[in-house]
């Protein structure tokens, strides 16, 4: 799937969040950035993952991390997801999949014997200088914060 690996420069992305606010890699210079890609807002696995990150948000902040969620949902769906679960971080509404494709997380998936194209649940930890520190492709949705904050 993704060809990005530890030590690579993170893609220079630009996307709009649930409020129409633009986010780019340059906005996060000097901070560590966790970019987590998830298939669909408000589905069970994505909710478990986002809530685990929310519940550990203060630990992320204390360690100079910013969090940014990305899916192909529209802004309205992202805003509802944030509101329903009180998520303290922005979610990009990447409907044209430009950020998703820049990170290489779009591709063939299998579910109940059917093959289709979709987002592979993947998290990128990017350092203060825009270098990928870690790529997590085996995301444990209920314990994802622990995978990042070792």
Q: Give the active site residues.
A: 46
Strands 91-93 and 122-126: unpaired
Sign of the torsion formed by the C-alpha atoms of 60, 142, 3 and 74: negative
């Amino acid at each position: 799937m993704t060809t990005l690996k530890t030590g690579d420069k993170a893609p220079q992305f630009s996307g709009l969040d649930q409020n129409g606010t633009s986010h780019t890699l340059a906005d996060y210079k000097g901070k560590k950035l966790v970019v987590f890609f998830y298939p669909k807002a408000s589905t069970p696995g994505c909710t478990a993952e986002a809530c685990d990150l929310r519940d550990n948000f203060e630990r992320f902040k204390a360690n100079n991390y910013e969090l940014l969620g990305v899916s192909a949902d529209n802004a309205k769906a992202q805003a509802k997801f944030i509101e329903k679960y009180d998520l303290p971080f922005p979610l990009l509404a990447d409907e044209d999949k430009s950020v998703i494709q820049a990170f290489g997380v779009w591709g063939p998936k299998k579910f109940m014997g059917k093959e289709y194209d979709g987002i592979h649940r993947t998290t990128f930890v990017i350092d203060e200088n825009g270098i990928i520190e870690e790529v997590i492709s085996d995301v444990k949705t209920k314990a994802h914060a622990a995978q990042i904050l070792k």
